[in-house]
Structure 1
Amino acid sequence: MFFSRALLIATILAPLALAAPAAGPTRDVTCGTKVYTPTKVSTALAAGYSRLSENRFLDGYPHTFRNFEKLPVSPSCSGSELFEFPLVSGGPYPGGDAGNDRVVFTSTGLYCTVMTHTGAGSNSFVPCRGAL
Protein backbone atom coordinates (compact mmCIF):
# COMPACT_ATOMS: atom_id res chain seq x y z
CA MET A 1 0.00 0.00 0.00
CA PHE A 2 2.75 2.46 0.98
CA PHE A 3 4.80 1.60 -2.12
CA SER A 4 1.88 2.11 -4.49
CA ARG A 5 0.98 5.44 -2.86
CA ALA A 6 4.60 6.63 -3.08
CA LEU A 7 4.77 5.55 -6.72
CA LEU A 8 1.54 7.38 -7.49
CA ILE A 9 2.80 10.59 -5.85
CA ALA A 10 6.13 10.34 -7.67
CA THR A 11 4.35 9.79 -10.98
CA ILE A 12 2.16 12.85 -10.46
CA LEU A 13 4.97 15.16 -9.30
CA ALA A 14 7.66 14.15 -11.82
CA PRO A 15 6.28 16.21 -14.74
CA LEU A 16 5.93 19.25 -12.48
CA ALA A 17 9.56 18.99 -11.42
CA LEU A 18 10.68 18.74 -15.03
CA ALA A 19 8.63 21.78 -16.05
CA ALA A 20 9.81 24.01 -13.20
CA PRO A 21 12.70 26.39 -13.83
CA ALA A 22 16.05 25.51 -12.31
CA ALA A 23 16.95 27.30 -9.10
CA GLY A 24 19.03 30.44 -9.23
CA PRO A 25 22.14 31.30 -7.22
CA THR A 26 22.74 30.04 -3.69
CA ARG A 27 24.00 33.39 -2.33
CA ASP A 28 23.13 37.06 -2.62
CA VAL A 29 23.81 38.73 -5.97
CA THR A 30 24.98 42.36 -6.15
CA CYS A 31 24.25 44.49 -9.22
CA GLY A 32 25.77 47.93 -8.72
CA THR A 33 24.44 48.91 -5.28
CA LYS A 34 21.39 46.62 -5.37
CA VAL A 35 21.49 43.30 -3.56
CA TYR A 36 19.17 40.46 -4.55
CA THR A 37 18.59 37.36 -2.44
CA PRO A 38 18.57 33.92 -4.07
CA THR A 39 14.79 33.86 -3.54
CA LYS A 40 14.38 37.17 -5.37
CA VAL A 41 16.45 35.94 -8.33
CA SER A 42 14.55 32.64 -8.42
CA THR A 43 11.22 34.50 -8.35
CA ALA A 44 12.25 36.64 -11.33
CA LEU A 45 13.49 33.54 -13.15
CA ALA A 46 10.21 31.72 -12.53
CA ALA A 47 8.19 34.73 -13.74
CA GLY A 48 10.30 35.10 -16.88
CA TYR A 49 10.21 31.40 -17.68
CA SER A 50 6.45 31.26 -17.11
CA ARG A 51 5.89 34.17 -19.50
CA LEU A 52 8.20 32.62 -22.11
CA SER A 53 6.64 29.16 -21.96
CA GLU A 54 3.11 30.61 -22.17
CA ASN A 55 3.99 33.21 -24.86
CA ARG A 56 2.77 35.99 -22.54
CA PHE A 57 5.30 38.74 -23.12
CA LEU A 58 5.24 41.92 -21.04
CA ASP A 59 6.65 45.08 -22.62
CA GLY A 60 8.92 42.91 -24.78
CA TYR A 61 10.14 40.63 -21.96
CA PRO A 62 11.42 38.05 -21.82
CA HIS A 63 13.44 38.36 -24.98
CA THR A 64 16.47 36.74 -26.52
CA PHE A 65 19.85 37.60 -25.01
CA ARG A 66 22.59 37.20 -27.61
CA ASN A 67 25.50 37.73 -25.18
CA PHE A 68 27.53 39.98 -27.47
CA GLU A 69 29.53 40.92 -24.36
CA LYS A 70 30.60 37.28 -23.86
CA LEU A 71 29.51 37.37 -20.22
CA PRO A 72 30.23 34.23 -18.22
CA VAL A 73 27.20 31.98 -17.83
CA SER A 74 26.67 28.69 -16.05
CA PRO A 75 28.46 25.93 -18.02
CA SER A 76 25.15 24.09 -18.37
CA CYS A 77 23.84 27.06 -20.41
CA SER A 78 26.62 27.03 -23.01
CA GLY A 79 25.26 26.55 -26.52
CA SER A 80 21.65 27.18 -25.44
CA GLU A 81 19.36 29.95 -26.59
CA LEU A 82 19.38 32.53 -23.79
CA PHE A 83 16.61 34.85 -22.60
CA GLU A 84 16.65 37.86 -20.29
CA PHE A 85 13.98 39.09 -17.91
CA PRO A 86 14.04 42.16 -15.63
CA LEU A 87 15.07 41.73 -12.02
CA VAL A 88 13.41 44.51 -10.01
CA SER A 89 12.92 45.28 -6.33
CA GLY A 90 9.55 44.60 -4.77
CA GLY A 91 8.38 41.52 -6.66
CA PRO A 92 8.28 40.16 -10.20
CA TYR A 93 8.59 42.68 -13.02
CA PRO A 94 5.15 44.33 -13.43
CA GLY A 95 5.82 46.00 -16.79
CA GLY A 96 6.99 49.52 -17.57
CA ASP A 97 10.50 50.57 -16.59
CA ALA A 98 12.66 47.44 -16.66
CA GLY A 99 15.48 48.98 -14.63
CA ASN A 100 19.10 47.92 -15.12
CA ASP A 101 19.21 44.34 -13.88
CA ARG A 102 18.32 41.08 -15.64
CA VAL A 103 18.19 37.37 -14.90
CA VAL A 104 19.32 35.16 -17.80
CA PHE A 105 17.90 31.69 -18.43
CA THR A 106 17.44 29.06 -21.15
CA SER A 107 14.26 28.10 -23.00
CA THR A 108 13.89 25.23 -20.51
CA GLY A 109 14.10 27.57 -17.50
CA LEU A 110 17.69 26.79 -16.54
CA TYR A 111 19.36 29.61 -14.56
CA CYS A 112 22.39 31.05 -16.36
CA THR A 113 23.45 34.31 -14.65
CA VAL A 114 22.43 37.80 -13.50
CA MET A 115 23.69 40.90 -15.30
CA THR A 116 23.31 44.67 -15.14
CA HIS A 117 23.59 47.79 -17.27
CA THR A 118 25.05 49.56 -14.19
CA GLY A 119 28.73 50.24 -14.85
CA ALA A 120 28.54 48.96 -18.44
CA GLY A 121 28.94 50.85 -21.68
CA SER A 122 26.04 52.08 -23.76
CA ASN A 123 23.27 49.45 -23.90
CA SER A 124 25.62 46.67 -22.80
CA PHE A 125 25.84 44.50 -19.70
CA VAL A 126 28.35 43.42 -17.07
CA PRO A 127 27.96 40.44 -14.73
CA CYS A 128 26.63 40.98 -11.23
CA ARG A 129 28.78 39.85 -8.28
CA GLY A 130 27.79 36.47 -6.89
CA ALA A 131 25.78 35.47 -9.96
CA LEU A 132 27.88 32.35 -10.62
Structure 2
Amino acid sequence: MRLLDLLLPFFLIPLSLALPAEPLPLIPRACATTCGSHCYTSSQVSKALSAGYNYYESGDKAGSSKYPEKYNDYEGFDFGGVSGPYYEFPILESGVYSGGSPGADRIVFNTDGDLAGEITHTGASGNDFVGCTGTS
Protein backbone atom coordinates (compact mmCIF):
# COMPACT_ATOMS: atom_id res chain seq x y z
CA MET A 1 0.00 0.00 0.00
CA ARG A 2 1.29 3.42 -0.89
CA LEU A 3 1.74 6.22 1.61
CA LEU A 4 -0.65 8.44 -0.36
CA ASP A 5 -3.43 5.83 -0.02
CA LEU A 6 -2.93 5.83 3.74
CA LEU A 7 -2.89 9.62 4.13
CA LEU A 8 -5.67 10.49 1.68
CA PRO A 9 -8.56 9.87 4.14
CA PHE A 10 -6.92 12.19 6.66
CA PHE A 11 -7.09 15.01 4.11
CA LEU A 12 -10.49 14.28 2.57
CA ILE A 13 -12.49 13.83 5.78
CA PRO A 14 -11.63 17.28 7.24
CA LEU A 15 -12.18 18.86 3.84
CA SER A 16 -15.64 17.31 3.50
CA LEU A 17 -16.56 18.42 7.01
CA ALA A 18 -15.63 22.00 6.13
CA LEU A 19 -18.06 22.12 3.20
CA PRO A 20 -21.68 23.19 3.84
CA ALA A 21 -24.30 20.44 3.84
CA GLU A 22 -26.57 22.51 1.59
CA PRO A 23 -25.74 24.92 -1.22
CA LEU A 24 -25.20 28.47 -0.07
CA PRO A 25 -28.04 30.86 -0.93
CA LEU A 26 -27.46 33.47 -3.60
CA ILE A 27 -26.66 36.90 -2.28
CA PRO A 28 -29.50 39.21 -3.27
CA ARG A 29 -28.61 42.24 -5.34
CA ALA A 30 -28.40 45.47 -3.43
CA CYS A 31 -31.37 47.76 -3.96
CA ALA A 32 -30.48 51.43 -4.21
CA THR A 33 -34.23 52.08 -4.05
CA THR A 34 -37.43 50.04 -4.02
CA CYS A 35 -40.59 51.29 -5.72
CA GLY A 36 -43.53 49.09 -4.76
CA SER A 37 -42.08 45.60 -5.26
CA HIS A 38 -39.49 46.72 -7.82
CA CYS A 39 -35.86 46.74 -6.67
CA TYR A 40 -33.55 49.07 -8.58
CA THR A 41 -29.77 48.88 -8.33
CA SER A 42 -27.60 51.98 -8.31
CA SER A 43 -26.59 51.11 -11.88
CA GLN A 44 -30.24 51.08 -13.04
CA VAL A 45 -30.89 54.42 -11.32
CA SER A 46 -27.74 55.90 -12.87
CA LYS A 47 -28.65 54.69 -16.37
CA ALA A 48 -32.18 56.10 -16.11
CA LEU A 49 -30.81 59.42 -14.85
CA SER A 50 -28.26 59.59 -17.65
CA ALA A 51 -30.84 58.79 -20.34
CA GLY A 52 -33.42 61.22 -18.95
CA TYR A 53 -30.93 64.05 -18.58
CA ASN A 54 -29.48 63.45 -22.06
CA TYR A 55 -32.98 63.73 -23.56
CA TYR A 56 -33.60 66.89 -21.50
CA GLU A 57 -30.32 68.52 -22.60
CA SER A 58 -30.91 67.75 -26.27
CA GLY A 59 -34.57 68.82 -26.16
CA ASP A 60 -35.65 65.36 -27.33
CA LYS A 61 -38.17 62.87 -25.97
CA ALA A 62 -37.81 59.11 -25.56
CA GLY A 63 -39.42 57.68 -28.69
CA SER A 64 -42.88 59.18 -29.19
CA SER A 65 -43.39 59.58 -25.42
CA LYS A 66 -43.66 62.75 -23.34
CA TYR A 67 -40.57 61.89 -21.25
CA PRO A 68 -38.66 63.53 -19.77
CA GLU A 69 -41.60 65.55 -18.50
CA LYS A 70 -41.60 68.56 -16.18
CA TYR A 71 -42.43 67.41 -12.65
CA ASN A 72 -44.22 69.95 -10.46
CA ASP A 73 -43.90 68.11 -7.12
CA TYR A 74 -47.52 68.62 -6.09
CA GLU A 75 -46.92 65.97 -3.42
CA GLY A 76 -44.25 68.10 -1.70
CA PHE A 77 -41.39 65.58 -1.52
CA ASP A 78 -38.19 66.33 0.36
CA PHE A 79 -35.52 65.88 -2.29
CA GLY A 80 -32.64 66.26 0.15
CA GLY A 81 -31.51 69.72 -0.86
CA VAL A 82 -31.67 69.16 -4.62
CA SER A 83 -33.51 72.21 -5.93
CA GLY A 84 -35.81 72.37 -8.95
CA PRO A 85 -37.10 72.79 -11.51
CA TYR A 86 -37.59 69.04 -11.75
CA TYR A 87 -38.15 66.52 -14.52
CA GLU A 88 -39.38 62.95 -14.28
CA PHE A 89 -38.23 60.01 -16.36
CA PRO A 90 -39.33 56.35 -16.24
CA ILE A 91 -37.11 53.74 -14.63
CA LEU A 92 -37.58 50.11 -15.63
CA GLU A 93 -36.18 46.85 -14.29
CA SER A 94 -35.83 45.54 -17.85
CA GLY A 95 -33.52 48.26 -19.17
CA VAL A 96 -33.47 51.94 -20.09
CA TYR A 97 -36.78 53.49 -21.13
CA SER A 98 -36.89 54.40 -24.83
CA GLY A 99 -40.61 54.99 -25.37
CA GLY A 100 -43.88 53.09 -25.02
CA SER A 101 -45.47 52.22 -21.70
CA PRO A 102 -43.55 54.01 -18.93
CA GLY A 103 -44.65 51.78 -16.07
CA ALA A 104 -45.31 53.23 -12.61
CA ASP A 105 -41.81 54.20 -11.47
CA ARG A 106 -39.83 57.40 -12.13
CA ILE A 107 -36.55 59.04 -11.31
CA VAL A 108 -36.66 62.78 -10.65
CA PHE A 109 -33.79 65.06 -11.65
CA ASN A 110 -33.18 68.79 -11.91
CA THR A 111 -31.97 70.93 -14.80
CA ASP A 112 -28.35 70.42 -13.64
CA GLY A 113 -28.72 66.65 -13.99
CA ASP A 114 -28.72 66.03 -10.23
CA LEU A 115 -30.75 63.07 -9.01
CA ALA A 116 -33.48 64.35 -6.69
CA GLY A 117 -35.15 61.02 -5.89
CA GLU A 118 -37.33 58.16 -7.07
CA ILE A 119 -41.13 58.11 -7.04
CA THR A 120 -43.90 55.71 -8.04
CA HIS A 121 -47.61 55.61 -8.80
CA THR A 122 -47.75 52.23 -6.99
CA GLY A 123 -49.72 52.72 -3.78
CA ALA A 124 -50.69 56.32 -4.61
CA SER A 125 -54.18 57.71 -5.16
CA GLY A 126 -55.22 58.48 -8.72
CA ASN A 127 -52.34 59.90 -10.73
CA ASP A 128 -50.36 60.98 -7.64
CA PHE A 129 -46.96 59.68 -6.63
CA VAL A 130 -45.49 58.28 -3.43
CA GLY A 131 -41.80 58.14 -2.66
CA CYS A 132 -39.76 55.04 -3.26
CA THR A 133 -37.36 54.05 -0.46
CA GLY A 134 -35.07 56.97 0.25
CA THR A 135 -37.55 59.61 -1.01
CA SER A 136 -40.04 61.12 1.43
TM range (shorter): 0.7 to 0.9
Quick one: which of 126, 130, 133 aligns to 1:129? 133
Residue identity opposite 1:115 in structure 2: I
Partner of 2:45: 41
Q: Does 1:97 align with 2:98?
A: no
Report the count of equivalent residues.
Answer: 105
1:61 aligns with 2:67: yes
Greater RCO (Cα-Cα under 8 Å, separation 6 or more): 1
1:109 to 102, 108, 113: 113
Bigger Rg, structure 1 or 2: 2
In structure 1, C-alpha distance between the alignment counterparts of 2:103 and 2:57, rounded to whole Å: 23
Q: CA RMSD in A?
A: 1.6
Matched position secondary structure for 2:116 = strand
Q: Deviations over 1:46-85 (max 9, x none)?
A: 000000001111200001000000012121x23x200000
Match of 1:87 among 81, 88, 91: 91
Structure 2 gaps of 5+ residues are: 1-29
Moved over 2 A (4+): none
State the secondary structure of the residue aligned to 1:103.
Answer: strand
- The answer as to whether partners of 1:74 and 1:111 remain within 8 angstroms in 2 is no
CA distance in 2, matches of 1:40, 1:56: 21
Unaligned residue ranges in structure 1 (runs of 5+):
1-25
1:73 aligns with 2:79: yes
The equivalent of 1:20 in structure 2 is none
How far the C-alpha of 1:27 sits from its partner, in A, is 5.5
